[in-house]
Amino acid sequence: MAASAWYKEMAVYQIWPRSFADGDGDGIGDLRGVLEKLDYIRDLGVNAIWFSPLYPSPNADYGYDIADYKDISPDYGTLAQFREVLEGAHTRGLKVFMDLVINHTSDQHTWFRASKESGDSPYHDYYFWRKGRGKKPPNNWLSVFEGGAWDYDEGLGEYYLHVFAKGQPDLNMANPKVREEVKDIMRFWLDMGVDGFREDVITYISKREGLPNGFPLPIGTGLEHYTNQPSVKDYLREFRDDVLSRYDCFTVGEAPMMTPKTAKQFITEGADQLLNLMFHFQHMEADCILTDWIPTPFRLRKLKKAFSSWQQGLRGVAWNALYLENHDHPRIISRYGSEKYRVESGKMLAAMYLLQCGTPFIYQGQEIGMTNIRLDGVSQCKDVVTFNNEKLFRKFGIKGERFLRLVNRRSRENARTPMQWSAGANGGFTAGTPWFPVNPNYTEINAAAAEADPDSLLHWYRALLKFRRESPLALYGDYREHNKASRQLYVYSRGREGQRLLVICSFTEQPVRFAAPLGFDLLHATQLFGNYAAPETQSNQFVTRPYECRVYGWL
């Protein structure tokens, strides 16, 4: 049995500040906007907010390229306003987590600027500066975002490494001075009262000595030399011992390509726990290969396998982070659900993940069922990944309309449209001109309409979160998957001290015959949740309606 802890019982709301709420009418979300929405967040029933980066940034990657770790971007407000938000959140019982992006800085950060002044600069070794191999870059690594992973600096006659965009030079974490800077940043925010961090691509922060060539691939060359190197754990241990262990704080690390087995090296509870939770990507690959941009038909069995292996793999030793959306993925209803059955499938997806064992994260707009946008052209796009893929896919003959269709289905742009607050102008997001198009479906899909409709997704999220919060069974119960072979139904149960829950989720609009697993007598259960009116008489078998979800309890 896992020990209880506050972070296990919380639910977290993620804010991507640029598109959340604009308080000053300049078309960009800001802290004034957040301040006005704190009651909305509290009323959802979460206990924490994770802010995607709020720091000053030239926005090569919308804040994930940080120019100053100890300030707030003028786009979003001031440090004083941040303190107000922090206090307002704390007063409402909401913890606040910052995004800690330490794999790289912005190329506009003073460290990077100083690092390229000369090879003798004390900052030179903060980054990876190397001579080329003749006219070629120092090795064959590819950037996750933009062509090669090296960029040449004429002045210095050296290349610098950027695993992500050109404007995101990688920090050399092997340099103890860089680690001192990281600790200093952590202390700065923790001393201000911040409650923890979401640590961006944390398993990338160490590079193999000598930066050897990677196995050549069309994408991702070099990955094996910068993912999950042994020193990542040493660095995390140092951050924990010198800083984090001295505060009652929380950490969740983002870790592409993570498996439960490897995750346990970081999040196993006990004396050498390095992070509280880890974001993995395995359940985000049920309709694609490696990246969202290489789509396949949705395969429920792949999804179930991913969830179950994490539920079972971490059982009793570590704790899951549960999410379906964030700023890096298209909207979940448009992916694993159905825009035609938007509310039904949205409710089903919410119950499917919120009732598993773990700490749930909810991304802004997910709770009102926002969907993907249909942009008119790539000229409307804003994301470096879209621009990079435009070049990449062109090589494979995918361009024009075909590429745009892919963007509208698969890009991160979909997650970054402004939050839809009302049916008023610009969805109530701004009184000015929004920095990025509001999805025209805001007239129908918005928080005000959801508030007014007792059957809305918003009320469903609130009810599920309340149930989870108050139920030791939902929080700590064990997990068992049923009907494993089904390609349409995801069925699992939770159990604790003689109490049980059965969660039945249909992933299709087709009718599917469901028969309760042995030992689960629906006739003696209470139906706790259902996204359709409950049947008058229960039976141990039923035929599902489109994207139907039912939750039965033996309490």
The set of catalytic residues is 200, 254
Cα–Cα distance between 297 and 481 in angstroms, integer? 23
Give whichever of 195 and 254 is closer to ligand GLC, judged by the CB atom. 254
Give whichever of 61 and 548 is closer to ligand GLC, judged by the CB atom. 61
- Give bridge partners of residue 99 from the DSSP assignment: 198
3-state secondary structure of 493: strand
Q: Which residue is nearest to ligand GLC (CB)?
A: 64
Cα–Cα distance between 178 and 244 in angstroms, integer? 17
Closest alpha carbon to 152 in 131, 170, 121:
131
Give whichever of 253 and 427 is closer to ligand GLC, judged by the CB atom. 253
Cα–Cα distance between 351 and 551 in angstroms, integer? 8
Q: Is 142 an interacting residue with respect to ligand GLC (CB under 6 A)?
A: no
Q: Indicate the helix (H) or strand (E) that contains 12.
A: strand 12-15
x/- contact string, 75-104, with ligand GLC (CB under 6 A)? --------------------------x---
Give whichever of 328 and 344 is closer to ligand GLC, judged by the CB atom. 328
> What DSSP character marks residue 374?
-
3-state secondary structure of 107: coil
CB of residue 291 to ligand GLC, shortest distance in Å: 12
Q: Indicate the helix (H) or strand (E) that contains 515.
A: strand 513-515
Closest alpha carbon to 451 in 24, 37, 23:
37
Number of other CB atoms surrounding residue 183 within 10 Å: 15
User: Is the Cβ–Cβ distance between 93 and 103 less than 8 Å?
Assistant: no
Closest alpha carbon to 419 in 23, 12, 90:
23
Cα–Cα distance between 294 and 90 in angstroms, integer? 42
Single-letter amino acid, residue 148:
G
CB of residue 101 to ligand GLC, shortest distance in Å: 6
Cα–Cα distance between 133 and 283 in angstroms, integer? 40
CB of residue 249 to ligand GLC, shortest distance in Å: 20
CB of residue 105 to ligand GLC, shortest distance in Å: 10
x/- contact string, 308-327, with ligand GLC (CB under 6 A)? -------------------x
Q: Which of 13, 111, 164, 266 binds ligand GLC (CB under 6 A)?
A: 164
Q: Which of residues 245-274 bind ligand GLC (CB under 6 A)?
A: 254
> What DSSP character marks residue 366?
G
Cα–Cα distance between 105 and 97 in angstroms, integer? 19
Give whichever of 101 and 278 is closer to ligand GLC, judged by the CB atom. 101
Q: Which of 12, 185, 201, 501 binds ligand GLC (CB under 6 A)?
A: 201
Give whichever of 221 and 508 is closer to ligand GLC, judged by the CB atom. 221
Give whichever of 64 and 442 is closer to ligand GLC, judged by the CB atom. 64
Cα–Cα distance between 531 and 464 in angstroms, integer? 12
Q: Which of 199, 200, 292, 325 binds ligand GLC (CB under 6 A)?
A: 200
3-state secondary structure of 36: helix
Beta strands in 255-380 (DSSP E): 277-279, 288-289, 291-295, 321-322, 359-363
CB of residue 61 to ligand GLC, shortest distance in Å: 5
Closest alpha carbon to 502 in 555, 460, 452:
555
Cα–Cα distance between 508 and 291 in angstroms, integer? 24
Number of other CB atoms surrounding residue 385 within 10 Å: 24
CB of residue 198 to ligand GLC, shortest distance in Å: 9
CB of residue 5 to ligand GLC, shortest distance in Å: 25
Closest alpha carbon to 177 in 119, 120, 124, 133:
124
Cα–Cα distance between 12 and 187 in angstroms, integer? 22
Q: Which residues contact 30 (CB under 8 A, 6 or more apart)?
A: 17, 21, 22, 23, 24, 75, 76, 77
CB of residue 283 to ligand GLC, shortest distance in Å: 16
Give whichever of 201 and 343 is closer to ligand GLC, judged by the CB atom. 201
Q: Which of 7, 64, 239, 520 binds ligand GLC (CB under 6 A)?
A: 64
Give whichever of 21 and 101 is closer to ligand GLC, judged by the CB atom. 101
x/- contact string, 410-449, with ligand GLC (CB under 6 A)? ----------------------------------------
CB of residue 361 to ligand GLC, shortest distance in Å: 12
Q: What are phi and psi of 478, to 5 degrees?
A: -75, 175
Q: Which of 328, 344, 367, 548 binds ligand GLC (CB under 6 A)?
A: 328
CB of residue 325 to ligand GLC, shortest distance in Å: 12
Closest alpha carbon to 21 in 38, 6, 2, 8:
38
> What DSSP character marks residue 19?
G
Give whichever of 283 and 494 is closer to ligand GLC, judged by the CB atom. 283
Question: For binding to ligand GLC (CB under 6 A), which residues are involved?
Answer: 61, 64, 101, 164, 200-201, 254, 327-328
